Amino acid sequence: MGKLKYIPQSQESECGLCCASMILNSFGCKVLPKDIKEYEDIGRDGLSLQKVGDILSSYNLNVDFYEVGINRLDEILKNPIILYWNNNHFVVLSKIKNNNYYIIDPALGKVKLTKYEFSEKYSNFALTSTPNENFSKVKPKEKHNNWKLYIDYFLENKKRFILLFSISLIFSLSVLLIPSFIGSFTNYYEKNQTISNEYILSLLLIVPLLLALYYSRVSFMLQTVKIMDLNHYHKIVKKLFSVPFQFFLTRSSSLILFRLGLLRSNRELIFDTIFKGILDSIVTIVLLIAVLINDFISFVFLATISLIFGLVLAVLRKDIVLKNKLELNEYTRLQALEYETFSSIFSIKANSQEEYMGDLLMDTNKEALVAYVNRSKVNNVYSTIIYFLNTFGPMVLLVMTVLFSKNENINIGLLIFIFSLSGVYFQNFSSLFNTFNTLGTLKNNLLRINDILDQKDEDEYVGQKEIQLIETIEFENVYFSFPGQKNYVLEDISFKIYGGEKIGFAGATGSGKSTILGLVLGMYKPTKGKIYINNQDIHEVDINEYKKKIGFVPQEPFVYNKSIKDNILMNREINDKQLIEALKVANLIEDISRMPLGIETVISESGTNISGGQKQRIIIARAIVDNPDLLILDEATSSLDNQTELSINKELQNLTQTQIIVAHRLSSIKKCDKIIFLDSGIINDIGSYDYLKQSNPKFAEFSSQEG
């Protein structure tokens, strides 16, 4: 059995998958979470312990499940075991020694716990595994490089970085001029009791030179940071728009926003710490050599002090990295809750839930603050050591040099030179450890950013066949379940829609109507069964071109903080005649005429300066303005009054394109050519409104409930 390798999770739902991957790797099966088939099927709820066991079994491991207390764990700990943790998480237990429990947490890394700390989290369920006779080792598919984003950028901009590095290195090494100048000046004055004009001239040259170097460095670095930020933001946003919609089913909006924020944090970490750390390491070596050349005793003491404090700081670093991860996890939770709270502030205030949500935010913030304080306590010890080094290190070195120096001719100038040089040395030496600590934070951030960049593009899942005109849409025995869910939300769905038809979907809430629309739009992939567009499998169709031929009005219309016109056109080339016609169909002309700026009126964030009905009608105009082949309406008129709804429905009926309509108000679909009546994810019946009401008791009951 090999060494147990830490495999970090990029989101909370991956903990079980990461634990399975760690176990497999320890037995020589080098697979990462993304290599395991179930990777794409994990929902936001993650995996059960049973499912984790199924994954290990599929790789020919014999697994056993135990409900076992803490005192009997050592009886089953032959190999690392997976534990159910805190009733919502999984970790791997690697060993128990001297009443200490050594776990590997996918969220935190390797952690040593006392028996009491362990008992507080352990949920009394364990999974053991051993390879069977059919088990075979697997070589890694590819070595994953967490730093690829920055390495690629560096390679693409080598000249710029080499120039920046050269300017920065020259500036960093120029600090040697100051101690050299002070030492030489002191010696000269001690001997001659006067000031030479050469020193005044040198000073007049050194100061402008250093200022010019410093300004050139920071200006060039600012430009480099700007270019890098534009490049990386463009790459991330482009990737987010190119990944399949399934990616967003397993990650919350707040989580994605947090990761975009990490990209900006990394910008500061890369240049303020990592880049500076590389320079400081070079300068540190140069300073050591300079001290060695001038005084060997000083060099010995300087190296000894560095070694002692270096070991202490290295021990602290492990705890700092762990505490940083804990803090990051807690503030991720807090930010997600803040986003959810203030995105739904209207509902919270309308339902008098301010106190409840306020208390929830305060409690979550307290937990995040505890993590911050714990991290800060370790950092305080670290910063105290750094303070001691920077403040007293040069003094200690100076005293030790004088006490132990055998060089009777040691002069004041040399002592001042060593004192000044060691001051610069200890600052650079301390900076190196800041760099090492930052590397841990940066790696944690990159893990979450790479979770976006490592996703396959939607193009890799779709075909290349272009659809000129949407003539037919057919579902053949389609089943669908959401990622990580066992139960189907749609079962054995079969129907065919022809060009020009108006098809209505009816059924109770949760019957699968909106899910069918997601499948028609190509947003979801069928779990089983086939979907055909013009008798071609939807997987063979160029889905992006196909979606451009569809106008879609979602259940929850979203408008942007732009003008009404921009919200309708969405950067499409539409002539004024088409725009006016769309405004007429959406019954918007009168509303817009009453606004001072008319169609150029800017909609506020989330559309708070317009009514829900106006927002919905703007989305209807957006959907129909370019005359799409297929119009999909998902509760498109739910926010409208009866008169406005009747007016819009009448206009929509006159449109010639194929229409798929979902509505709770059956009045919106009464005139459809066919109504597909759904019941708990299954098609109950298909027919006209009159036919269903007369011949289907269940539909008749459903329609009567509408009143």
Judged by DSSP in three states, 621 sits in helix
- DSSP per position, 273-289: IIHHHHHHHHHHHHHHH
Is 80 exceeded by the pLDDT of residue 52? Answer: yes
pLDDT greater at residue 638 or residue 313: 313
Let me know if 501 is exposed, middle or buried by CB neighbors in 10 A (0-12, 13-18, 19+): middle
105 strand-pairing partners:
109
Query: Tell me, what's the pLDDT at 409?
Result: 60
Length of the chain: 707
Is 70 exceeded by the pLDDT of residue 43? Answer: no
Query: Tell me, what's the pLDDT at 544?
Result: 85
Alpha-carbon gap, residue 471 to 534, rounded angstroms = 6
Q: b vs e for 619-630, b when ≥16 Cβ sit within 10 Å of the residue's Cβ?
A: bbbbbbbbebbb
Query: Tell me, what's the pLDDT at 485?
Result: 76
Query: Tell me, what's the pLDDT at 39?
Result: 60
Alpha-carbon gap, residue 258 to 8, rounded angstroms = 18
Q: Predicted confidence band at 407 (pLDDT cuts at 50, 70, 90)?
A: low
Kindly report, residue by residue over 470-506, the tens digit of the pLDDT: 999 999 999 998 877 778 999 999 999 999 999 999 9
626's CB contacts (< 8 A; 6+ apart) are: 551, 572, 574, 578
Is 70 exceeded by the pLDDT of residue 37? Answer: no
Q: Which of 254-258, 361-365, 560-564 has the lowest mean pLDDT?
A: 254-258
Query: Tell me, what's the pLDDT at 236?
Result: 92
Global pTM reads: 0.74
Give the 3-state secondary structure percentages of the chain, helix then strand then coil, rounded to 5: 60, 15, 25
Kindly report, residue by residue over 185-219, the tens digit of the pLDDT: 777 777 787 887 887 888 888 888 888 888 888 88
Query: Tell me, what's the pLDDT at 176?
Result: 74
- DSSP per position, 372-399: HHHHHHHHHHHHHHHHHHHHHHHHHHHH
SS (H, E, C) 82-147: EEEECCCEEEEEEEEECCEEEEEECCCEEEEEEHHHHHHHEEEEEEEEEECCCCCCECCCCCCCCC
Query: Tell me, what's the pLDDT at 614?
Result: 87
Alpha-carbon gap, residue 370 to 362, rounded angstroms = 12
Q: Can you tell me which residue has the tokens 């940083």?
A: 324
Q: In what order do the strands lie in the sheet with 528-533?
A: 490-498, 472-480, 528-533, 536-537
Averaged pLDDT, 255-275: 81
> pLDDT exceeding 70 applies to what percent of the chain?
96
Judged by DSSP in three states, 346 sits in helix
Dihedral sign from CA coordinates of 457, 460, 461, 464:
positive
| DSSP conformation class of 468 | S
Q: Tell me the one-letter amino acid at 149.
A: L
Q: Which of 280-284, 402-406, 555-559, 679-683 has the highest mean pLDDT?
A: 679-683
Is 60 exceeded by the pLDDT of residue 408? Answer: no
Are the C-beta atoms of 13 and 250 separated by less than 8 Å?
A: yes
Alpha-carbon gap, residue 647 to 78, rounded angstroms = 73
Is 70 exceeded by the pLDDT of residue 410? Answer: no
Judged by DSSP in three states, 490 sits in strand
661 strand-pairing partners:
504, 633
Q: Which two tokens stand for residue 644?
A: 């406005």
Is 80 exceeded by the pLDDT of residue 103? Answer: yes
Q: b vs e for 309-346, b when ≥16 Cβ sit within 10 Å of the residue's Cβ?
A: beeebeebbebbbbbbbbbbbbbbbbbbbebebeeeee
* Closest-CA residue to 498 (of 659, 275, 295, 330): 659
Cα-Cα-Cα-Cα torsion 30, 32, 35, 36, nearest 10 degrees, comes to: 90
Mean pLDDT (the chain, rounded)? 86
pLDDT greater at residue 139 or residue 600: 600
| DSSP conformation class of 560 | -
Q: Predicted confidence band at 675 (pLDDT cuts at 50, 70, 90)?
A: very high
Q: Predicted confidence band at 142 (pLDDT cuts at 50, 70, 90)?
A: low
For the chain, give the longest Cα–Cα distance.
118
Kindly report, residue by residue over 149-189, the tens digit of the pLDDT: 888 888 888 888 888 888 888 887 777 777 777 777 777 77
> pLDDT exceeding 90 applies to what percent of the chain?
28
Are the C-beta atoms of 576 and 636 separated by less than 8 Å?
A: no
- DSSP per position, 599-612: GGPBPPGGGTTS-H
Kindly report, residue by residue over 435-478, the tens digit of the pLDDT: 877 777 788 788 888 888 888 887 766 678 888 899 999 999 99
Q: Which of 243-247, 363-367, 384-388 has the lowest mean pLDDT?
A: 243-247
Q: Tell me the CA end-to-end span of the chain in Å, nearest whole number.
A: 69
Alpha-carbon gap, residue 278 to 165, rounded angstroms = 9
Domains and CATH numbers, the chain: 12-131 (3.90.70.10), 147-324+362-454 (1.20.1560.10), 461-706 (3.40.50.300)
Averaged pLDDT, 86-114: 91
Query: Tell me, what's the pLDDT at 40?
Result: 58
Are the C-beta atoms of 528 and 476 separated by less than 8 Å?
A: no
Query: Tell me, what's the pLDDT at 509?
Result: 86
Judged by DSSP in three states, 343 sits in helix
pLDDT greater at residue 546 or residue 267: 546
Kindly report, residue by residue over 527-570, the tens digit of the pLDDT: 999 999 999 999 888 888 899 899 998 888 788 888 999 999 98
